[in-house]
Each structure stands twice: as structure tokens, then as C-alpha cells.
A and B are shown apart, each in its own frame.
Chain A
Amino acid sequence: MPDLLDQPALDAVRDEALAAFAAAPDLSALAALKATTVGDKSPLARARQAVGALPKDQKADAGKRVNAVAQALGRAFDDRRQALEAERDARVLVEEAVDVTVLPSRPVGARHPLTTIQERIVDVFVGMGWELAEGPELEHAWFNFDALNVPAHHPAREEQDTLWVDPPGSGLLLRTQTSPVQVRSLLDRELPVYVVCPGRVFRNEAQDATHSPVFGQLEGLCVDEGITMAHLRGTLDAYAAAMFGEGTTTRLRPNYFPFTEPSAELDLQCFSCRGASAVPGGEPCRVCSSEGWIEVGGCGMVNPAVLRACGVDPERYSGFAFGMGLDRTLMFRHGITDIRDLYEGDVRFTLPFGLEA
């Protein structure tokens, strides 16, 4: 029997190879060991050849022992390869680590708060079954004044500082209120009518911190059978609760508007202090100047003269209308102190409002 089939010799081959595997620093070094340990010219290959040359009676034993070495080396080789692969994979992941706070610089946009607050308020009313009505900004005086019970030379018409459009006397104007949309709604829609009308309105008024010649308004109109002031109060309270939190209420104070009778100023309970600042000894409140209420608009029962001008029978139908300043609502809701910020287009002002302020 040749020496290389001696058990000690086989053990030496095996141990040498195992040591080499264990010492291989990486996958390529391990691969390079393959030829010298298990390849055609390796001692192991030579041992297999030698087994072939043995007499028949010795073959079984020698072959068994050579195979045992071959299997041990195969297993050891695979184990080592798997270990080295795992090491490599872990190293790559470490090397591929990034700073996740460095992001591509893409322009960031935002929507104007006048747009988003309009949508929010409209959604409150749409949720109650109302619809959104719209109309032109450049209007005819008949829609803006006459049909609203404000005839020519009425003091209320003069108070509004209307911006008139050429030719003089044509009756064309920039709407001073969103009420002409109410008139169009009554003329064009089937009764009953439940509509909200947001939009821009215009006054011949110098720009300062609290006045703007262009500002946003939102009006609502409900004309149906059996409508009373109780429905007006209920609707306004529902709006206040939806917009400013459950339990926020409204208050009506008598006032005058030509298109409603009775008419009222609309106060919103301060959403910040809930009226607590107005109680003697209460913490002062900046939102409402410690009055407990914030004046937000006007409202009332639709004047029968308006219904008649719109072809609605005031004997059968009654209705209520309300209006509020969107700029003012924004100002107290977001703590805006200068109305000019809304109209100058400075991106630093608008960006914080995001897409759905």
C-alpha cells in the first residue's frame, strides 16, 4: 500500500487543507485553494488514483477513508465560503450606509390660506347638504344692489364705496359682496335653495393693516318652506362647532342690512378662551381682546322684497342668509396681524400653510 494512503498521511492532507481554509482571508483566496486541496493535482486526487490501483480486497477500506477526507474537506470548504460570504455581505451593507437626512432639494409649494379656508368652510356646509354656488366678480348693479333691496341713492349703496366700471351709468361694477351670487342662485336654481357662495369682493378703500380693497367673503343662503331664525341660529352654531370645535357657539345682535329683515351682527364665541376672558377676573385673551366674542359677519332673514325680486313667493317661502369675512376669519384663526400679508404674495408668509392649512 502506498504511503499516501496511510491513515496518518491522509490525516495530514486533511489537516493541512483545513488549516489553509481557515486561514483564507477572503473568497478569492479560498477559491485559489480549491486546486491545491481538492483539485485534479491535489494530494487528495492522487490518493483517489492510488485507491484505483490497489488490489480488490484493499480497495473498499482505502476508498472509504479517502472519501471521508474528501467529504470533510468539502464540508469545510463550503462552511468557510459561507462564512466569508456572510462577512462580505455585512461589510458591503456597512459601506453602503448613507446619511438619510440629506435629501434632494426640490421646490416646495403651498396653497394660499384664503383658498384652503374657503374649502374647509364649504365642506362643512356641503356636509349638511348645501351646495357651492359661484358668480362673476364683475357684476351688474341689479344683482349687487337693486335685487338686494338697495335702490339707487340708498345710503347703504353709498356706504359701500363701490368700484364702478366704464361706461359710467352702465351699472357695471366690481361686486362689493358675494350676495349677487345669492340672487343668481334664487333665479337659476329650483327651490328649496341651500347654497354657500365664497369669493372675492371689492371696495374702493385704501390698503392698510386692517383694510384691503380686495378681500374674501363667504355667504350662505337657505330658502325653503317654514324657515325661521331658529334655523339660522342652529346652522350657525353647527358651523361654529365644525370649524372651531364642539361647543363653540354664536351670538346675534340686532343690526341693519337692507337684504335681511330682521338683521343681526354675527359674533362667534372666542374659540381660544371660550368666553372665559370676559368674565371678571378671567385670564386676558389676545384673540378676542378679552371680549369673549369675535365679530365675524352679519346675517338675518331674507327680506321679502329680495325674494320677490328673485321670483320667489314670500307668502310660501322664507329664508335666512349670512355672510362672513374670510380675511377676518383667517386673521383671528391664524394670528395674522396685517391683512396686506395676504395679498403681497411673499412666499415666506404662505409656505407654512402647506397644502391643506
Chain B
Amino acid sequence: MRVPLSWLRTLVPALSASADDVAAALVRAGLEVEQVHRYGDDVRSVVVGEVLDVEELTGFKKPIRFCHVDVGTRSHEVVCGARNFAAGDRVAFALPGASLPGGFEIATRQTYGRTSDGMICSEAELGLSDESDGILVLAPDAPLGVDVVEHLSLRDEVLDIAVTPDRGYTLSVRGVAREVATAFGLELVDPGLAPAAPATDDGPPVTLQDDGCTRYVARLVTGLDPAAPSPAWLQRRLVLAGMRPISLAVDVTNHVMLELGQPLHAFDADRLQGGITVRRALAGERLTTLDGKDRALDEADLVIADTSGAVAVAGVMGGAATEVTATTTTLLLESARFEPVAIAKTARRHRLPSEASKRYERGVDPALAPAAAEAAVRLLVEHGGATAGPVTDVDSRPAQPVLAFPVGAPERIAGRPYARDVVVGRLQDVGCTVTGEGDVVEVVPPSWRPDLTGTAELVEEVVRLEGYDTIPVALPSAPAGRGLTRQQGLRRTASRALAAGGLVEVVTPPFVGEQAVDLFGAGGPSPRLVNPLSAEQALLRPSLLPGLLAALARNASRGLADVALFETGPVFLGAGGSAPTPGVDGPPTPEQRAALDAALPAQPRHAGVVLTGAPASWDAAVSALVDLGRALGLVLVPRALQQDPFHPGRCAELLLDGRRVGLAGELHPRVVATLGLPARTCAAEADLDVLVEAAAALDPVRAPVVSHYPPSSVDVALVVEAAVAAADVEAALRSGAGELLEDLHLFDVFTGPQVGEGRRSLAYALRFRAPDRTLTDVEVLGARDAAVALAGERTGAVLRA
């Protein structure tokens, strides 16, 4: 909402504060003043002049005129490119030395072979509009030589206010003026309270068939001069408020809407057939709206109809057939109150947000309709030569609610006392009627504040008008908290471990396309967005890898060759269902709650890793998950697996107590090619929730017995078939070696003719120790032989000769 300060002053005549002070006061009262625009200060030495003669210059690329302009004291020669004026017209003439918005200085100069001693200005050059065709032609009675800034009242300041949904009344100069008057303690001249012509017996017939309309004032205006222009001051107000002047009838309805907040619609009464009916649209009903679009109406749309059918979409847009035209002389003015939800739904359904629907959606003052219609009629009579005709007022609005309000409520909420007369006074400031003497008073909110529905809303009015800065500062005494849960702490551990392992964390959007789901999904459906940001990315990720790989590719394309990234966050598994929306008068029942939760797809947190360049190798990817497990106190065991999208020979599943919790390895060359990734890109992904839950469920670690006896070390080299996993050999050795084994690790892997085709040699170092004695050679060799024997049994391993 753009509010010219000059307009505001007509409603708060005693207001003397500067625009900046007014803006600051409004901000304190809770209005969002986004900007203060200033106009006219940058226009100097532009005066009213009269074109004495016009000479057409030829021989140039475009038509050029050479004129003499009289400014009262003398005449100036001037060259002008515009053609929309004639000798005798009054124009805005910039004298030599004048300055215009944007820092333009006007000087005498030679051009097109003539002297140009000034400039004839357009609206745009004066800062009156963004663009203009030709120069500004003033009224014939504009006094010669007078400063145009004064003549056109160009000097003004405009407050640009962002209106929150609860403050519909501030979508009007009237509403803003009320806040200004309250803030400065000044009197408000409320144009909404101006007397209006009462209903007459012969008013236009109006039938309200739907409770989506609670008030309808219809007024006939006859004998309008369709050619009569809007007065300059009115056009100027509209321009400053951000609207384009169009015609007197349209400008007047817009002016009233801006001043009072009441949208008006003007029908060409001669093109209406029969009386007005407000109803819902009929099945199959269509209407061509003012914008020329033929629209199929929905049966839920509220419409204005005559005997021929719908003639307007109520509160949203009029119909083309009954539009006011350049020949209209008889108007039917509609000043109505429509229900917010009905208008909001229709505006959304037809994608037709308008100045009118914006106001109806937030609630229009139902008491305002007669005064608004009266204001419009008066302007049409005064400036369009029209005659006020009969009046209809169908009024079915409900009585204003009476709210019981404890005068102590503001203190209970704000934590500071407010005197009773302060509470009552502030409620009266916003327009409430307050009655009663006890602890609980009766409050009737004003008709323009449909948002004041209960104690909390009334409290806010008192507290905000008294100032939030008067509220004291105190700390609540929270009960002893339990700190982070074990799981929350472990997730931090996981994040730190991944980063400490040389990975850089990224946060990627969860939107993916079909291809990503095909390549990286587990096969089930993924949630689909109804209104995605991009049609190519309409699904929610089933895996962290698509986002991570996109980030990896971005880094690679920026010349970063060695990249190792990780991300932790939810993935979305399953399409999601439907659940009825419970009411809000109380908590959902257990059944309703269960249905709500069941409608949501599973959203487990995963940890994903991608690697390319120097850090990238299949074993780094597997190790990333093994290390992550270790950081959480878990042993993750890799096992070979052929699984898309990984390289069939370079992929491991990670097992936790035999259960798969992750996958890791080198990506399949086909996937690498499809996604345009650097060759041999590696990746890993694990279910972080499962890891964290398992870690949180671990029993306290039992401390080992640290033996002080000497160790005995033995190495064994075993030959196995190439397909046998070292992890299986190691597991067998561990089991076979028994309790005396203190440590075991693989220190050499060897292939070659010595061990035979298709086989390899694995060399392990075993360290034995007993807690209570020095081991004998017999004991050590016995344990070693048992280990080798079990490895042979389970994996076919034989001691290397």
C-alpha cells in the first residue's frame, strides 16, 4: 500500500510530523514501512508555458519541431521531438538552468541547426510516471509562468507499507491514518463515518441468495459525461499510489478504494438486464471477464448475475459485457461486502489476484458500503456532471461480536502492569467500544477489525500501542534439561568423524529427477511434488548420492580435481499417503494422529560420501563407512556385492551384525558416463539412523584385562582362491585362534606363478598373549595350527609352502 503523505494529512489535519517520523511511528505500531519515496524535490525551474507556434523541420531522420513558448515574461525558442501538441497548448517548460529528476540539467544549446533555449517536458521527465507518449499537455487554464511543481502539487512523500494478513484495514489511507492519529494523539477525520444517502424505494433490485455476501449497496448514477476527465489532483493521487488513471468512472472507484479500503465496481447500467442477484455460479456457466478471457466458472465461485446470467466474478473481476466504456452515461455502482474465504478461493482458482480481491480476502469493513458509494457518487456528480439516482442497501451482516475481556490480561501476557484507563483507552484508540466497570469488561471491536476475535488479539493492541520497548526483561526458569539425547550427540560425532576423515560437508537440495531415482533408488516409489521448482526435478531424493554427485561435478567443472564430499540428511522412501485433516479445537485423537503420521513417507537420515581425483579409490569409499562405524563404536564388515549403480567388481555392502547398513565402492563406468562424472568416481552411503540407534543401544564397554606377560608373535601365509574374501579368512583365523589371540592383521597380499593361477597368498601377523602366564611354544603353535585349520575348513586356505 502506497500512501501519499498529502492524502494522509487530509484525514489527520493536525499532523505536522515529517514523513520519516510518521514512518518510524508506524513501525513502532507494527506496520511495515518498507520505504519512503520523495517526489518533486528534484524538479526545479519548470514553469507553465504556452506554445505560440510550431514549425516542422525536415531533412532529419525523425520529425522535429521548432517552437516558440511563452512563459509570461518572455518567449523561448525550443526544439522538440514530440508531436502530441499544437500551438495554443499549455505545457510544462523547463527553463535554461532547470533541473529534472535523475540529475538532468537543462541548458541552452544548438541542435538541428537551431537554438534550443529550454525543454518541453513529458510526464516521465518530470518523474510523474515511468514512461509517457509525448509531452505533458496541461489544462488550458493553467496560469502562465507558474512553477509546475506548485501547480501540479508535485511535491509529496509516499509511505510504502507492506500489509500483513491481519491488518486488512491498513490497505486504505483511512486505516493508516487511524494508526497515525493514535501514534501522535491527533484527531482522525474518518471519511468512513460521513453521512450517506439512505436507501430509496425505487433502488435497483438486489437479491442476496448466498451468505458469501452480507451487504450490497447499489446506486444508480445517470447523465454522466463519458468524456469528462478526472481532475488533476485525483489523477496525481492515483499515480502516487501506484495506479494508472484511466477514465473518470474508473479513477473514482479506485480513489474511493484507496481512501476507504472499500472496493467498488461500476456496471454500465444500460447493459444490465433486470435486477442484480448475488449467487454461486451455475454448473457450466461461463463469463468473459474485463481482461477479455472467457472463463469457465466453478460452482463455488460467487458471482453477480442479472437475468442473462453472470456479469461479474464477485469481488474479483467484472465482466466485459457490462463494462463501463467511452460511451457509458448511466452507472450502477456496487459497494458490497463479500466473505474473505470465498473471494480468496475464487481469486486463486482463476489466478486473478486484484486490488479488490486483496482487500476482500483480508476482510472489508461491512459498515463502510454506503459511505464509500456516497463518496464515489459525489465525485461523479462534481466532475462528471452526473446525477445521483436511487439507492438500494441490502444489509444482512451479523452483529459485531461482544468480547469479554479481563483488564488484567495485558499484564499477564506482557509481564508488566497496565493501568485500567490505559487498557481501556488503547482499546478505544483502535475503535473498540468498551463497557463495564469490573475486572472483566465488554469489548465490541470496530467493524473494520475482523481480526479482533478474542482476548489475545485485544491484548496485542494494548501492548503494541504502549510499546514493546516498555516490556521488562526476565529469564524463565527452565527445569533441569536432559541435554542432547544420546542419538543427537552421536550424530554430531558422525559429522565430526566424516570431516576429520578428510571429507568436506555439503548441503544439497533434495529435489531429483526420474533418472536419479532409477539409478540410485531402492526400487520403491519416491514422493512427487505437485508444484516443483523445475519439472525435471519433481521428485524427492531416495538417496543422498545424486545431490552429492552434482556437487562433485560442479567442483570438477570449476577445475578442482581432488574432491571428497559428504552429506548427512533425510532421504524420502515411499510415495506418501493421505490423511484427513483434523480440527484444531483440541489435539488430534490417537487415531487421527496415527493416520497423520502414517501418511508420511519414511524419512531416514543417511550419510553419503563421494570421492574423485587423488582421494578417490574404492577402498577409500569403503573405509569412509568403516571409519564412520568405528567412530560410533561399531564394527562394519565389508562384503563383496554386485549392486547398481556400482562397479560389479568394486562394490561392498557394509554389514553390522550381519545386517546391511550401507554400500560403498566405485561407481559403474556406465553411470559415470551417463552422469558426466570424472572417471573412477567413488561413492558410499549408509543409513545413519540405523548406525546411531545401534550405537546408542551398545552396552557399556567391558574393560579388557591388560596382560603384563610377554607376547608371542607368529606369521602365517595362506593360499586361497582369488574369489575368497580376506575378511572371511581373517574371521576364520580369529575364531580358530581362540582366546589367546591378542591381535591379528593382514600384512601382505601376493599373487604370482609361485602361488598358482587364480589364487593368492595372504600373509597375516598373529600376536598371542595370556593374561596370567608366559605362553609356551607348544601353546602358541597349537593356537596357530587351530587357526589355520579353521581357515582351511571355511575358506579352503592352505599354508603356503
Interface residues, chain A, with chain B CB atoms under 8 Å away? 106-112, 114-115, 119, 122, 126, 128-132, 134, 136-143, 146-147, 149, 151, 153-156, 158-159, 163-172, 174, 187, 192, 194, 200, 204, 206, 213-214, 222, 224, 227-231, 233-235, 237-238, 251-256, 258, 261-264, 301, 303-305, 308-311, 318, 342-348, 350-351, 355
Contacts and interface: CB of A to CB of B under 8 A. Distances in A.
Interface string B562-590: 11111001101001111101101111100
A262 to B, nearest CB: 4
Given A109-B499, A262-B459, A348-B560, A194 B554 contact: no
Contacts of B506: 112, 345, 350
Given A137-B570, A153-B341, A234-B474, A309 B479 contact: no
B473 A131 contact: no
8 contacts: A109-B564, A112-B507, A229-B468, A237-B473, A254-B30, A309-B587, A350-B504, A350-B506
B28 A253 contact: yes
A213 B509 CA distance: 8
Contacts of A159: 165
Interface of B: 27-30, 32, 164-167, 340-341, 344-345, 348, 361-362, 412-416, 454-457, 459-460, 463-464, 468-469, 471-476, 478-485, 488, 492, 495-496, 498-510, 527-533, 540, 548, 550-552, 554-555, 558, 560, 562-566, 569-570, 572, 575-579, 581-582, 584-588, 593, 596, 599-601, 603, 614-615
A158 B340 CA distance: 13
A231 B475 contact: yes
Given A155-B361, A351-B504, A130 B481 contact: yes
**Nearest 5 A/B pairs, CB to CB:** A254-B30, A228-B415, A345-B551, A107-B502, A230-B415
A126 to B, nearest CB: 6
Contact of A187 (B362, B414, B581, B593): B593
A301 B362 CA distance: 22
Contact of A224 (B167, B476, B577, B582): B476
Contacts, number: 289
A237 B464 CA distance: 19
A55 B415 CA distance: 121
Contacts of A114: 507
Contacts of A213: 509, 533
A131 to B, nearest CB: 5
B484 A132 contact: yes
Contact of A155 (B165, B463, B474, B566): B165
A301 B530 CA distance: 34
* Residue of A108, A112, A168, A252 most packed against chain B (CB within 10 A): A112
* Residue of B416, B499, B540 most packed against chain A (CB within 10 A): B499
Contacts of B564: 107, 109
A172 B506 CA distance: 27
A93 B415 CA distance: 74
Contacts of B587: 187, 309-311
Given A254-B464, A301-B413, A344-B551, A308 B596 contact: no
A206 B576 contact: no
A214 B600 contact: no
A1 to B, nearest CB: 60
* Residue of A164, A168, A234 most packed against chain B (CB within 10 A): A234
Nearest to B593: A187
Contacts of B413: 228-229, 262, 301, 318
Contacts of A206: 533
Contacts of B585: 308-309
Contact of A172 (B344, B527, B554): B527
B30 A256 contact: yes
A141 B630 CA distance: 40
A229 B551 contact: no
Contact of B579 (A140, A254, A346): A140
Contacts of B601: 138
A229 B560 contact: no
Given A130-B478, A262-B414, A355-B500, 11 more contacts: A109-B501, A111-B495, A128-B478, A129-B478, A131-B484, A137-B603, A138-B572, A140-B579, A164-B530, A166-B527, A228-B413
Contact of A234 (B29, B476, B575): B476
B576 A142 contact: no
Nearest to A131: B481
Contacts of A166: 527-530, 575-576
A350 B567 CA distance: 13
A343 B508 contact: yes
A130 B563 CA distance: 38
A171 B348 contact: no
A140 B596 contact: yes
A262 B588 contact: no
A309 to B, nearest CB: 4
A115 B415 contact: no
A233 to B, nearest CB: 5
Contact of A154 (B165, B415, B483, B588): B165
A308 B584 contact: yes
A312 to B, nearest CB: 8
Contacts of B166: 256, 258
B616 to A, nearest CB: 10
A355 B165 contact: no
Contact of B456 (A106, A231, A301, A348): A301
B481 A234 contact: no
B211 to A, nearest CB: 16
Contacts of A343: 507-509
A357 B481 CA distance: 26
A128 B483 CA distance: 10
A111 B496 contact: yes
B456 A146 contact: no
Contacts of A251: 469
Nearest to B584: A309
Contacts of A165: 527-530, 540, 576
A167 B601 CA distance: 13
Contacts of B27: 253
A163 B509 CA distance: 13
Given A192-B479, A204-B531, A213-B509, A143 B473 contact: no
Contacts of B503: 107, 109
Contacts of A111: 495-496, 499, 505
Contacts of A301: 413, 456
Contacts of B615: 107
Contacts of A252: 468-469, 471
A304 B495 contact: no
A146 to B, nearest CB: 5
Contact of A171 (B460, B479, B578): B578
B20 to A, nearest CB: 13
A115 B596 contact: no
* Residue of B479, B507, B566 most packed against chain A (CB within 10 A): B507
B628 to A, nearest CB: 12
A140 B600 contact: yes
* Residue of A137, A158, A165, A169 most packed against chain B (CB within 10 A): A165
B529 A147 contact: no
B570 A228 contact: no
A193 to B, nearest CB: 10
A158 B505 contact: no
B356 to A, nearest CB: 14
Given A142-B588, A146-B581, A227 B471 contact: no
Contacts of B455: 304
Nearest to B27: A253
Contacts of A348: 560
Contacts of A258: 165-166
A318 B475 CA distance: 15
Nearest to B476: A231
A238 B476 CA distance: 11
Nearest to A140: B596
Nearest to A186: B587
A235 B476 contact: yes
Nearest to B454: A304
